[in-house]
A = this chain, B = another copy of it.
Amino acid sequence: MGYFLGSASAEGTAFLLALLLMLVAAKLMAELFERLRQPAVAGEILAGVIIGPSVLGLVAPSEVTNDLAELGVIFLLFTVGLETKPAAIFRVGRSAAVVAVLGVVTPFVGGWLLMRAWGATGVEAMFVGTAMVATSVGITARVLSGMGLLDAPTARIILGAAVIDDILGLLVLAVVSSAAAGTVNYAEIGTTAALAIGFTVFVALVGARVVTRAAPRITTLRIGHPLFVFGLLLCLGLAVAASYIGVAAIIGAFLAGMALAEGAEGDHTMHKQTNGVTEFLVPFFLVNIGMQLKLDVFRDPSVIVLSVLVTLVAVVAKLLGCGAGAWNLGARRAAQVGMGMVPRGEVGIVVAQIGLSLAVINAELYGVVLFMAVATTLIAPPFLKLLYATETAAIAEVAPADAGGIVVTDDLSQIG
């Protein structure tokens, strides 16, 4: 009589089964990729492609998988923020700004030129260009933390540039969206820009100080695990605030993590608890990206050609644009920064969805942009692993002697 209970709990069981399938697929592919010396991240995204609607059709993206995926990337950036001292980002601020600006202009122009040459309308070309501006810093952060390299100088530049990139991308999207709708309200866009920049700078500057002062009081609360609970509330609170202001929720979560990086430094239990939540939720983020892929528009060979071209331009434009911005660090580090900014992931997917909902791109162009977003996210991790091989080898030499002192880093290094 499972079916009597079934009437009320079938929905709950289907939900649990979907989570189980996503987690099993993600971890099987992660293990396979690790054994092939490829990044687990790429394996988990590919797991989503395989179990998703375009191949096996075992699980489809739904409101719940999207929500868990969003929580996953929010906690991922929160965890990365916890490992990042604000000062370390401010120190590379100028380089990060140059990388971000060039990393916005080059892909936008590249995408626009390609689409115009392909015969697309001006609005279509602008929208594809905008989707190519996006950066999914979560993917790169996960790869770098997996190699224990979150405190490499280029990792700081990538994180800083991703924050600035998000604000710039927001403004480009605003201008392009309103241009597509007919009128550009510069006053409103200026206000949003000021709000977004103000919020980010304010939290980055003041957050750590406020948290450091509040921490001793928080630990005297009667509730269990007060610092962990405070971290959760700060993470969700700044994610919501960022989201209402127009910045990505993950930027708020990253800033929350940074604010706690100093105040909660010594609390290993809190770090491990946060790590548990992140480790549980991130696979849903990665698998959900893979599940978004729609292969049914690729029956038309010209769509395949365009997808490959858009993806190529998307990779080369970020590599050249961001690489040029970091050229003073030498060719290898410039390539690290450039490749680190390549994944478009969920941000590119969101831009594509906005284009579709505004009816400025059709289903085929939507499929092309989705392909670009997923493909860039799959391509970058293996190259990142290669480009950072020297740094990884250096860490492997140091680690055994210094194992006692790097508990937290060691813990995070296993995230990937």
Q: What's the dominant secondary structure at chain A's contact region? A: helix
With known contacts A16-B70, A27-B233, A236-B16, A9–B279 Cβ distance under 8 A: no
Residues of B within 8 A of A16 (CB): 70, 74, 236, 239-240, 243, 249
Contact B4 A224 (CB under 8 A): no
Within 8 A of B (CB), among A182-228: 185, 188-189, 192, 221-225, 228
- Name which residue of chain B comes closest to A276, CB basis: B273
Tell yes or no: A416 within 8 A of B by CB.
Answer: yes
Contact B7 A358 (CB under 8 A): yes
Encode contact with B along A70-113: 1 for CB under 8 Å, 0 otherwise: 11001000000000000000000000000000000000000000
Additional A-B contact list (13), CB under 8 Å, known A12-B70, A24-B237, A40-B224: A1-B177, A8-B357, A12-B67, A16-B243, A17-B240, A19-B71, A23-B233, A64-B67, A224-B414, A228-B279, A269-B272, A269-B411, A273-B276
The docked-state distance in angstroms from the alpha carbon of A268 to that of B1 is 40
Q: Which of B9, B174, B221 contacts A350 (CB 8 A)?
A: B9
Encode contact with B along A271-295: 1 for CB under 8 Å, 0 otherwise: 0111111011000000000000000
Tell me how many residues of A have a C-beta within 8 Å of chain B.
76
The docked-state distance in angstroms from the alpha carbon of A354 to that of B3 is 11
Residues of B within 8 A of A249 (CB): 9, 12-13, 16
Q: Which of B9, B71, B228 contacts A276 (CB 8 A)?
A: B228
- Which of A20, A74, A177, A249 has the largest number of chain B CB atoms within 10 A? A20
Residues of B within 8 A of A357 (CB): 7-8
Q: Which of B67, B225, B245 contacts A15 (CB 8 A)?
A: B67
Give the shortest distance, in Å, between A72 (CB) and chain B (any CB).
12
- Name which residue of chain B comes closest to A31, CB basis: B223
With known contacts A63-B64, A276-B276, A240–B27 Cβ distance under 8 A: no
Contact B177 A19 (CB under 8 A): no
